[in-house]
Amino acid sequence: MMGTYREFRPWLLLLVRRRRRFLLGALLVWITLMAGLALLGLSGWFITASALTGIALSLGLPARLDVYVPGGGIRFFALARTVARYVERLYNHNTVLTLLADLRYRVFGYLTHFDDARLHGERASDWLSRLTADIDTLDNFYLRLLVPPLVALLGVVAVSLFVAIWLPGVAVLMALTLGVLWLVATLLAAVWGFSQSYQQVVDQQLLRRLVVDQVQASAELMSYQTAEWHRTLIASQERQAFSNSRRLGRKTALLNCVVSVVSGVMVVAVVWLASLVFSQQLVAGPILVMAALIALGANEAFITLPASFIKLGASHAAVQRLNELADVPTASKASATLPEGRGLDIQANQLSLRYAHTLGPALSKVEFYLPAGKRAVITGNSGAGKSSLASLLMGRLKATQGEAMVGGVPSLQLSTESRAHHFAMLTQQVDLFDASIAENLRIANPTASDVMLWEVLRAVAMDSWVEQLPKGLATAVGEKGHQLSGGQGRRLALARLMLGNPQVVILDEPFAGVDSATAKHIAASLDKWLINRTAIFFLHQVSSLKLLPGIEYHWHLDAGKLSQCPLK
């Protein structure tokens, strides 16, 4: 229990920052509940009082009943309930959305500290696929798990105190029953369903992996005629998941029944107790009816509790995963800076890299020196270690052994600002954002003028294409740049690079997906732009080697080992 609380704590603290919203929202829900109970109770009182007065009048006894005050009260509560419900829903929805912004802001903040191993590691698809769902789970926490129990508890207190004015015994009965019911519907439900609702999330994840396998291995499964075998794996996992869900669902149903039985029996008990008091003429008939009807309406506060609390385990799973993201190995105080306005050399000192959970190193003892302002090319197949080497040089990964130095400073010790200012890299997989061409370019330089944008577009031979687009620079590139072809996406990313003024440039496959005429144009632009900058090209195909201008060094990377190649 304490462990669970500790996991939730940082997120609850985030809620505490909005505590006024939270309390006001709960108050509004409480008012709605109270207005409903008051409406029912007052109506019952009024009817009974009317009936008794009517009988007295018909018997010729002197009797009077003020109909205006209760009548007005009934109308007021009817209206108050409607209005309070409307305001409450609106207000709480606003709170939930505000929290969503807070939560996303915080989680995004965690992710900004990730290094390349975590961003693109093998496990990345796992957390990414659940990220928004996990945040939503936490977001719902407020409306499902915090407000309702608070309101129910306050409701119990208010109702008991009110009834205690006339019927203290009945009030004690109500307070005790509803108090126990509150514990059952919250704590007991949470504990009872915890492991199963936790398992539900795990099951979903396992099933997801099996389905991903079926999709990715479809060729193998079909050719070896083992698709049926794999489907039985999925089926058995699904059966297991469903029997878990069934158990959880039945527990929920059972708790709902308990709430229904306890609150129902309580109403009967309240009437019974009150009638005993009534038969001793210690309380008036209308009061008895009012107490009974309030008891009848009180269960409204409890109906939704079990179903929400029984899923606490699922929320816990979500919180655990989000906490894992927060668990960033405290980034060493990287604060070194590089000198302005002079060329920077690159040196790899016996660089070795081994990823966690792999056999064999990704890079072993890579050693080279590239003087400032010179250009080099490193060739190698995919998987040879080019991306890893690039990440090490840019200080985005920590080497297992050895050190990457830029301008005489270990690049890992450079501050993020300094790295962003002096380094630029065209990554193997370019990231374009779901925004306009101009916005995608301005990521490199927010203050760049349109003239500058056109200039870099011309450098990658995309200016005439953008010009003929109806929206020009404002054209949206779509999610992951899907509105552009692969080659266009790379060229746009390259243009973006040219908006900055870095001293060290790494270009991973700058000509991929580009026809040879365009490649020549781009090579010429690069030649001009790269003057006085230190540059490394990473290439897969040796055939595009001859395109590269001004290359003075050529290394080849094979299975993590670097070797020198003769320049042709």
Partner 1 sequence: MVTEETLSLSPRSWLQTLARGERKRLLGSALCGVLAGSQTVVIVVGLAWLIDQLVIHDQSPMSLLPIFSLLVGCVLLRAAFQWGHETLSLEASLRIRQRARAQLLDKLSALGPVWLTSQHSGSLASQVVEHIDTLEGYFARFYPQLRITFCLPLLILAVAGWLDYLVALFLLLSAPLIPLFMALVGMGAERLNRDQFVAVSRLSAHFIDRVRGMTTLQLFGRTFAAQQDVWYATDEYRRLSMRTLRLAFLSSAVLEFFSSVAIAVVAMYVGFGLLGYIEYGPSSSLTLFSGLAVLLLAPEFFQPLRTLSQHYHDRAAALGAAESVVNILNQPSLVSGHRHLPPLSERSAIELTAACVAYPSRGQVIGPITLTIQKGEVVAISGISGSGKSTLLALLADFIAPSAGEYWRQVNSHYAWLDQQPCLLHGSLIDNLRLAAPDASREEMVAALQRAGFGALLTQLPEGLDTLIGERGVGLSGGQAQRLAIARVYLSNAPLVLLDEPTASLDQETEQFVMTALLELAQEGRTLVIATHHPAVIAVAHRHFAFEKGELVEVVS
Site membership for partner 1, residue 291 (CB under 8 A): no
Taking CB under 8 A as the binding criterion, the range among 70-78, 364-372, 398-406, 531-539 that sits at the site for partner 1 is 70-78
Site membership for partner 1, residue 212 (CB under 8 A): yes
Site membership for partner 1, residue 75 (CB under 8 A): yes
Beta carbons of 320 and 9 less than 8 angstroms apart:
no
Which residue's structure tokens are 């609702």? 197
Q: Whole-number minimum distance, CB 154 to partner 1, in Å?
A: 21
**Footprint of partner 1 on residues 479-498 (CB under 8 A)?**
479-480, 493
Q: Whole-number minimum distance, CB 521 to partner 1, in Å?
A: 23
Q: Whole-number minimum distance, CB 1 to partner 1, in Å?
A: 28
Site membership for partner 1, residue 65 (CB under 8 A): yes
Among 12, 161, 183, 211, binds partner 1 (CB under 8 A): 211
Q: Whole-number minimum distance, CB 273 to partner 1, in Å?
A: 9
Beta carbons of 127 and 323 less than 8 angstroms apart:
no
Angle at alpha carbon of residue 518, lines to 549 and 440, rounded to 5°: 100
Q: What are phi and psi of 466, to 5 degrees?
A: -65, -35
**Footprint of partner 1 on residues 144-203 (CB under 8 A)?**
none
Nearer to partner 1, 70 or 402 (CB): 70
Question: How many angstroms separate the CA atoms of 69 and 108, rounded?
Answer: 56
Site membership for partner 1, residue 245 (CB under 8 A): yes
**Footprint of partner 1 on residues 359-378 (CB under 8 A)?**
359-360, 362
CA distances to 47, 53, 333 from 63, rounded to whole Å, are 15, 6, 86
Site membership for partner 1, residue 82 (CB under 8 A): yes
Rounded to an integer, what is the distance from CA 73 to the centroid of its chain?
A: 46
Among 179, 187, 278, 551, binds partner 1 (CB under 8 A): 278
Angle at alpha carbon of residue 292, lines to 287 and 297, rounded to 5°: 125
Nearer to partner 1, 153 or 227 (CB): 227
Pure H helices in 67-188 = 68-111, 116-120, 124-141, 147-164, 168-183
Q: Whole-number minimum distance, CB 552 to partner 1, in Å?
A: 25
**Footprint of partner 1 on residues 448-477 (CB under 8 A)?**
none
CA atoms within 13 A on the CB side of 513: 15
Nearer to partner 1, 431 or 527 (CB): 431
Among 177, 256, 388, 525, binds partner 1 (CB under 8 A): 256
Q: What residues contact 14, with CB distance under 8 A and at least 6 apart?
A: 99, 102, 103, 106
Q: What residues contact 245, with CB distance under 8 A and at least 6 apart?
A: 200, 203
Beta carbons of 224 and 183 less than 8 angstroms apart:
no
CA distances to 359, 423, 448, 524 from 440, rounded to whole Å, are 39, 18, 12, 23
Angle at alpha carbon of residue 260, lines to 257 and 265, rounded to 5°: 125
Among 140, 204, 240, 401, binds partner 1 (CB under 8 A): 204
Taking CB under 8 A as the binding criterion, the range among 81-89, 147-155, 311-319, 467-475 that sits at the site for partner 1 is 81-89
Among 431, 450, 467, 527, binds partner 1 (CB under 8 A): 431
Taking CB under 8 A as the binding criterion, the range among 144-152, 224-232, 326-334, 367-375 that sits at the site for partner 1 is 224-232
Site membership for partner 1, residue 67 (CB under 8 A): yes
Q: What residues contact 388, with CB distance under 8 A and at least 6 apart?
A: 353, 362, 363, 397
Number of residues lying near partner 1 (CB under 8 A):
151
Taking CB under 8 A as the binding criterion, the range among 176-184, 337-345, 440-448, 511-519 that sits at the site for partner 1 is 440-448
Kindly compute the dihedral angle of the four CA atoms of residues 545, 548, 551, 555, in this order, to the nearest 10 degrees: -30
Among 161, 176, 180, 261, binds partner 1 (CB under 8 A): 261
Beta carbons of 283 and 166 less than 8 angstroms apart:
yes
Nearer to partner 1, 444 or 526 (CB): 444
**Footprint of partner 1 on residues 333-362 (CB under 8 A)?**
355, 357-360, 362
Q: Whole-number minimum distance, CB 489 to partner 1, in Å?
A: 12
**Footprint of partner 1 on residues 298-327 (CB under 8 A)?**
none
Among 213, 345, 403, 463, binds partner 1 (CB under 8 A): 213
Among 10, 54, 168, 486, binds partner 1 (CB under 8 A): 54
What tokens were used for 347?
């040196």
Residue among 398, 391, 418, 396 at smallest CA distance from 407 = 418
Q: Whole-number minimum distance, CB 418 to partner 1, in Å?
A: 9
Nearer to partner 1, 371 or 500 (CB): 500
DSSP 423: E
Taking CB under 8 A as the binding criterion, the range among 16-24, 42-50, 311-319, 403-411 that sits at the site for partner 1 is 42-50
Beta carbons of 326 and 382 less than 8 angstroms apart:
no
Residue among 452, 393, 399 at smallest CA distance from 419 = 393
Give me the sheet containing 346-353, strands edge to edge. Answer: 363-370, 346-353, 401-406, 409-410
**Footprint of partner 1 on residues 94-133 (CB under 8 A)?**
94, 97-98, 100-102, 104-105, 108-109, 111-112, 114, 116, 119-120, 122-123, 125-126, 128-129, 131-133
